Chain A
Amino acid sequence: MIQLERSLVCSLFALAAGCQSHHRLPEDRKVGLSSSELVVGMTAAMTGSASFLGTQTAHGAQAWFNEVNRTGGVAGRQIRLVVRDDGYDPPRTAVNVQALLVEDRAFALFGFVGTPTSVRATPLIDRAKVPSVGFFTGAEALRKPTIPWAFHVRDSYYAEAEHAVAYFIDELKLERVAVLYQQDAFGQAVLSGLQLALKRRNKVPAALATYERGSLAMEGPLSQLQPSKPEAYFMVGTYAPLARFVKLASSGGEHPWFHTVSFVGSEAFATELTQAQKLEPAHYAHVLVTQVVPSPRDDKLPGVMEYRALHARAYPSDSPNYVALEGFINAKVLTLALTRAGHELDRDKLVSALESLSNLDIGIGRKLSYSPTNHVALTGVFLSRLEPDGIFRTF
């Protein structure tokens, strides 16, 4: 409409003032494609405190891409995953996104890890109009309003918070709950979800405490929370400080409940609890983590069994874990859409193909669906607890 108006005005003025119409050439929407290869770019923490999350997301995804490439690729193209390390540092995420697009000529982006990093990347994704699949974060800010080029697989932190609050308040009939959260966008995102879920039950947290990202000094926050005698602690953070907090809060005859969201990295959290902090096994069953994918050790779901086999083949020294399973599922969603888009591919066609995925069964017990207005494929949260063998299992 504006274009039409503009060209109309231009033509009216053409004789008098020589109004020229300038348009840049349409952007290349087939970047990163050759007849035999398709480049997928990934930036995530491969080093530093969140490195478990980045490496395992990449391993899970690569395990699936290996299988796809072994069986002929997608519509005749081999998938090449290019990974750049951002160390869970948002400025490096921005630089990496640029490098993936400009230097590596990635066709699509994949596998972002973390809330602050993903928040930094999305304006660039939006400007470059590059389809991006799989964000290891459930932050609401990335989901609403829908970013046209960003496709989430996992359910939101709000859903995880609601699930945990429902379990503690509705099922266990607990009265007093406290919240410990990391002082950043991630902490705020989950805290909001918890507050909303409690508000629906006419409750508020009995106490709130916060800590700096990377700090292990949990005595201070605990002393702020303990006077309200919480029966359960909601914790938002990374595995090392949270494990320390669980250990401290469980000593001295206390036997409270604990919960944290999937971002913690359950396997690293379990190792930290059982080995570094040496938590007494009597407290294990009170430590809960909400999961957004089924247990990686499930032996009934065909999709999970396939994951275990392929992950073990690609990375024999890894153990099955939730993070890698999520990376594997995200990769599968991407290749399914690529297959649907066919050989005559461009970025817009990939987006259309993603949006057309509906009621897709990949053998994980829940179906995946996107639509033009819904860019979150999976709904459903699983509650897991620390079992006596030191592994988080859903129940």
Chain B
Amino acid sequence: MNLGRKIVLSFIAVIVVFGSVSGFATSYLLDARMKHEVATSEVMFARSLSLRVFKQVRDHNAIQITDLLFDEQQLRPEKLEYLLVVDKAGKVLAHTFLSPIPQPIRDIAQGSLKTEASSIRAVDTPAVFVTDVAVPILEGIEPIGSVHVGLKGEYLDALKVDVKRLTLAAVIGVGLLATGIALFLARVIVRPLKSLTAVAVELSNANLDVKIPEVKTNDEIRDLAEAMRGVMAALSTLMAEIERQANPAQSGTSIPAAPQASEAE
């Protein structure tokens, strides 16, 4: 594996691992946060509903309550699975189901008067998949019934999928960016190294006429280029000395190596 590939791969690996971990952590936190926000806003909604049905619950006017619940449910059909009002005895006074009330929801409705504060419960059975938000209908400090808001599980799931989709997109985006940066870095580092390698190969073939490429960056590669220049200069001087000693008659006077090199060009 060459150096460029090593740089690119290690760069991508680091970015992707880091991106995924932080992405999923964010996603998880956001998801929990969002569920909490949604449920909290539904507690507010259930509270307002409990005030509006107060009189009808007191009067046991099931028709008016049902009518109101249907109206409210129809405003947000994609979000609300059901609305349900229970009286003091735990009996369902009114609801928006159009098929028999699933048993898990009945069970929740029955037990809801045990607590005076709001409650948020996830119900996940084959028959029904909701988050039930319940608040008491209070007369003074005494509960006379409760309002239940059933949030569709599919709706919350869809929100979750949205967050995950966003995270996935972010991770992929960062990964692509990382690849780009890695490729660029590889080019910057590896290219001058390659050309210096080519010079070194020429030198090993005893070609002292090669020109050392100009390295503009102020880093170790330039040091390497400078060092090679020094090596070449030293070699040239050495070669000229050897040649002069080998053929003293022919040359007569000492001829510098440099003009020879420029003639060869």
Contact = CB atoms under 8 A, between A and B. Distances in A.
Nearest to B126: A25
A282 interface: no
Contacts of B197: none
A92 interface: yes
Contacts of B100: 102
B157 interface: yes
A92 B98 contact: no
Contacts of A313: none
Given A25-B126, A91-B66, A98-B98, A9 B168 contact: yes
Contacts, number: 70
Nearest to B164: A13
A9 B161 contact: yes
A24 B99 contact: no
B74 A19 contact: no
A91 B67 contact: yes
B161 A10 contact: yes
Interface stretch (A62-70, A123-131, A161-169, A335-343): A123-131
Interface residues of B, number: 32
A94 B24 CA distance: 46
Given A17-B28, A24-B128, A95 B67 contact: yes
A177 interface: no
Given A27-B99, A101-B99, A19 B66 contact: no
B126 A19 contact: no
B78 to A, nearest CB: 12
A24 B77 CA distance: 16
Contact of A25 (B24, B70, B97, B127): B127
A12 interface: yes
B124 interface: yes
A22 interface: yes
Interface in B84-140: 96-101, 124, 126-129
Q: How large is the interface on A (under 10, 10 to 19, 20 to 34, 35 or more residues)?
A: 20 to 34
A22 B161 CA distance: 12
Contacts of A28: 99
B28 to A, nearest CB: 7
Quick one: which of A24, A127, A128, A130 has the most chain B CB within 10 A?
Answer: A24
B62 interface: yes
Contacts of B160: 19
A31 interface: yes
B20 interface: yes
Nearest to B95: A98
Contacts of A127: 77, 98
B214 to A, nearest CB: 49
Contacts of A6: 158, 161
A325 B77 CA distance: 38
A22 B160 CA distance: 12
B168 A13 contact: yes
A1 interface: no
B129 A95 contact: no
Nearest to B129: A22
B17 interface: no
Contacts of A98: 66, 96-98
B82 to A, nearest CB: 11
Given A16-B24, A25-B127, A124 B70 contact: yes
A10 B157 CA distance: 11
B98 A17 contact: no
B27 interface: yes
Interface in B165-217: 165, 168
B74 A123 contact: yes
B154 A22 contact: yes
Contacts of A101: 98-99
Contacts of B165: 9
Given A25-B126, A101-B98, A123-B74, A94 B161 contact: no
A17 B27 contact: yes
B67 A94 contact: yes
Which are the 7 A-B pairs with shortest beta-carbon distances?
A91-B67, A128-B98, A22-B129, A95-B66, A101-B98, A95-B63, A123-B74
Interface of B: 20, 24, 27-28, 62-64, 66-67, 70, 74, 77, 96-101, 124, 126-129, 153-154, 157-158, 160-161, 164-165, 168
Given A12-B168, A22-B157, A98-B66, 14 more contacts: A6-B161, A16-B20, A17-B164, A22-B129, A23-B154, A25-B126, A31-B99, A91-B67, A92-B63, A94-B70, A95-B62, A95-B63, A95-B66, A98-B98
